[in-house]
Amino acid sequence: MREIVFHLLVVVCVLGGTLSMAGALIWLERRLLALWQDRYGPNRVGPFGLFQPVADAIKIFTKEDWIPPFADRAVFVAAPAVIVVTVLMSFAVVPFAPGVWVADLNVGLLFLFGMSSLGAYSLILAGWASNNKYSLIGGLRAAAQTISYEVFMGLSLMGVVMLAGSFSLRAIVEAQQGVWFCVTQFPALVVFLIAGLAETHRLPFDMPEAESELVAGFHSEYSGMKFGMFFVGEYLAITLLSALATVLFFGGWLGPVLPPLVWFVLKTGALICGIILLRASLPRLRFDQLMSLGWKILLPVALLNIVVTGAIALLGK
């Protein structure tokens, strides 16, 4: 009975924490971008602008929820929910501390890849159902970008799986007791972060939205809470990417002195700040440059890392 209550409590905390984190990141991103670009950030609504996300939420909930008459209504309505559901499902296999997880699957990494693949449908369906040429181009870009970079992301993690000897995220964390995989798998870490940014469509890889070219890309026709769900989904994806990088390459909850959960939160928070910094400093690539980067550079690097890691693992036996 105690185990059931504990797992239910973990589920509630994960859901509440991740959704609250999405709201907090809206404020954090604006403050950090303002700091790095030497300008004012949110500073009117509440102390230090802390209530700005609340004001944004009120605006989204009260804004007219309009569905274009030329759109495919059922698909148009369902598309925003897909990305939120798939990202939240992905958090189910993330180990936050010893014994603190929703599900410890021995194929946890494969489950994450499956959820990531399903998340791509959200953008594709949104672009198609909007019946708008800008939305359709954005959806097609998102499809090409996500499918391509999933290949490199998966290959980059094979070295980690070989060293840990398991697809379980808990086992991968425990395998880093001696040295974190960010040291032994540094090329894989770089490929993983680049592929993750491309999958979350964050700058400098936000070509599916590309306001200067496509108005707003796949969500051009969305308003109100449906647009808000795309917004929440993006910030949840940033949090998930940072949490996965922490688990796979930075030792997860491992660390001295401080409690394990605190170490996990600190590492994840540092990675989130790094992702925000990229938005403040790097320009958007052209779409053909993005595809060339993936297939001509990241793919060979990921394959070479697998070969070298496999050779070292065999020699070490």
pLDDT at 294: 86
* Amino acid letter for position 83: I
What 8-state DSSP symbol labels residue 286?
Answer: P
My answer on whether omega of the bond before 260 falls inside 30° of 0, hence cis, is no
Structure tokens at 180: 């974190």
- In the chain (317 residues long), the average pLDDT of successive 10-residue segments reads 77 83 85 87 84 84 80 84 88 88 86 85 84 83 83 90 90 90 92 89 78 74 81 87 93 89 93 88 82 89 92 81
CA distance 176 to 164: 8
Backbone angles phi, psi at 97, to 5 degrees: -165, 170
CA distance 230 to 123: 9
pLDDT at 172: 93
Whole-model pTM?
Answer: 0.92
CB half-sphere exposure, 14, CA atoms < 13 A:
23
CA distance 196 to 298: 12
Helix (H, G, I), strand (E, B) or coil at 97: strand
Q: What is the DSSP string of 287-309?
A: HHHHHHIIIIIIHHHHHHHHHHH
pLDDT digits (tens, 9 = 90+) for 279-304: 888 788 888 888 888 889 999 999 99
CA distance 7 to 9: 5
What 8-state DSSP symbol labels residue 217?
Answer: G
To the nearest 10°, report the CA torsion of 121, 201, 142, 147: -80
H-only helix segments in 175-223: 181-184, 186-200, 211-214
Backbone angles phi, psi at 46, to 5 degrees: 80, 170
**8 Å CB contact between 163 and 181:** yes
The set of residues, in sequence order, having a beta carbon less than 8 Å from that of 229 and lying 6+ positions away, is 80, 81, 83, 84
**8 Å CB contact between 246 and 252:** yes
pLDDT digits (tens, 9 = 90+) for 109-146: 999 988 888 888 888 888 888 888 888 888 888 888 88
**8 Å CB contact between 160 and 191:** no
pLDDT at 240: 92
What 8-state DSSP symbol labels residue 91?
Answer: G
Radius of gyration of the chain (CA): 20
CA distance 56 to 313: 51
CB half-sphere exposure, 162, CA atoms < 13 A:
21
pLDDT at 317: 65
Structure tokens at 110: 């494969």
**8 Å CB contact between 106 and 162:** no
Nearest Cα neighbor of 156 from 96, 92, 245 is 245
